[in-house]
Structure 1
């Protein structure tokens, strides 16, 4: 799962990001409102953690602009005081949740898991399922029946993306943006390598799910009964 955190307290933001990364989230940090809006409008994030009080543009303005531009990414607002007015204003502007600072990272992790479950029916207690496979994106474990294998973080993120885009072709460009960020210098061959490694691990499990290549378009997850 790819997260964007928009927070001007750099020390706090970096500390939280380290905890999130240890829990196998990919995190991009920006420290002012203008950059936050620019990154958020890319549409590549699964959840945005957004402070209200920011230089250059406040969080409520960012949130309104995202929603006005059709960005439906779930947003957790960070409020400095936890005042009712901030919470109400944020929720009325399109926020999905809020946290009052200072907060415990365990609470943030719980909110992230809850938003993940709320925004896709494929997730049950953090487990993503497709056909006969089960993926735990937090432990990086892939299971099929009684067999299981450990994935790398990028392999897990790639499979998570394909599961969530059930039945949809995912282009290499979209994979690069989601896994490495839209300003990365990663190229197509990076995707091809990870697809190949993931296919080998899935084959070792003898599962009925496979990654189908659509020439010139991208990849789609299929089951053996799909043909």
Structure 2
């Protein structure tokens, strides 16, 4: 079943569009990766889906067009985003950040249950739950950003460059966590990532964006085996 269905999407900043008639879909429970060079429009895509910038076109989440919705309304409909650069609230503690991620929810027992879930999934966060987010390491901040987004219990999680600034070991652990979250919770994931090979390993399908236009859409294993994709994005 299609969870996210985008067609004719145009978005940008100021007078010019960065995205041009983008069409993209994510099925329920699926992991989809978006590849592209710097400046291709990947972050603009994520920000437009999340309602953070003006956009035109159709963005349907579970059959409902959210293209005119505010970011808060989009979160309530079941979509959450981990922004590039993590975006944790530096002056709040780890636990306060997690609770902020659940600000649209009214089920206090469920929020408490999810706090326990993510403290168990990411033990380092439990160890530092009273520490200010701004004092965490890069890897810990990324764990926190992912867990905070998941506190809203989204059906679709957007992740914009989650491995940015992480060591190879932390990158491996982070992708393993995303794959496990997808399996355990059935959360669909739309992933923008420069570490293309790691992303393609956990994805079912991939899109290639070039200069704001979808140039290719193919199964992840086919993209990973394509010589031109390997040369441009996978480094071999």
| Higher Rg | 1
Higher relative contact order (CA 8 A, sep 6+): 2
TM-score normalised over the length of structure 2: 0.29
Q: TM-score, normalised by structure 1?
A: 0.29
